[in-house]
Structure 1
């Protein structure tokens, strides 16, 4: 992937020198005990769902509060190559989505990318490295422990810089959904759905974020020719490795489609490809699609 020398985003917050914080997350006005957190972390790893979402479901949903204030934000060191990489990818997503929102008569608000190590507090509860990268709509921040990239490469078998960029672009896709009001509609529907029904809607939400990642790649390639040989294959491989069926198989369990929250490997590849080939947000309407 060609990224060196491109603009770096200013919207990167480095918390890697900070502790994870001692306070427990509070969901719906109730503190969540360690047993619930363990269930959510295990479920998140096996099922491929953000454990913060599971924590909300296990506690009955509701608003989230954080018990302690976060320390002042810091910029990453100038000589940190991996931080430079994610800052550059984030800047590229900013350029693409600002233009797309402007063309549609709207205004894009940049998300913040938070680098942390181990654990950190968020407006959605306590974030853990074991969750993998995630987006918190309450504070409009993307969270990532860069150690996840080693997991992606060595444990999940998805190496490559463009695979790493795809992960960031997917989480930024959730930010786009938040700005478009899609996330809020999902939260409203949660109260009226069974767990299986909500899982189905969650799959559509995640596949749309994959498609939005493909739209970013299309536009970034047109504007800056970022792709090199093997990059698309690396992203498609990453999409396959983090499909719900692949994660459930890799955990040694049975594949249970009713529990899918992100989509199968084939579905994730298909929708990323839809966005990549079309470069169109309209091509990412997973909620109206009769077949995923």
Structure 2
């Protein structure tokens, strides 16, 4: 596996960085026998990650990040921020553990990148096409986390704090969107904004459930507090059905049989907040807005 170094920090520490990356990749591949990294053409460790992204024709990602997978001809390149990588290696054991898990997840993203999901069929129903990106994101989060759960750092919260914040904030946020709709009757804006909020929720659920299933642990065993919070919130029925559908779909080939139950879960999430999704007679997606629900009844 070619590993290239660019920049004074990355180049000065090239020997150590190469040894660490190669050792971690060997460990991960030895543990995950079905992991296929044939799509990975090279690894580039650079002091200027944004510039490297642009060289590969990728739009730089906003904010700080440790690595990025980019297209590299017919294969992919894994770009690393060399300065941050070296800083992590000089840190404590917890930082090293987080690095191992990060690389583990990047490996599975590369595995999946070599097997792109089939393009949406033009004959698919409008609602199926509209919800397809949410379902695809749920599967990505679930499958990658489930397969990489063995390298999860001991101090990881599994994104539970983030999910708890969503559970707390979403009812009032959705209520606000519906209130604004009643004021201006802009159904397209209501659908777009609520779609973003529901997509975020469903992706966060799939993220957590992937880790739980990979660990073979129910939520109650990992966090009794979060288990109680979910059970007492609007999320409870969604949590149970989505967990079942993700676990069942993981065991079958990707496709409609696995996707259809998750689409129903997404529709159920909308319905929780009084929004009924349906297909109109002219082949479009329509939202029926139910009478306003008091936010306190959703907590």
Using the size of structure 2 for normalisation, the TM-score is: 0.46
Rg larger in structure: 2
Q: Which has the higher contact order (CA 8 A, sep 6+)?
A: 1
- Please state which structure has a larger fraction of its residues in helix: 2
Using the size of structure 1 for normalisation, the TM-score is: 0.47
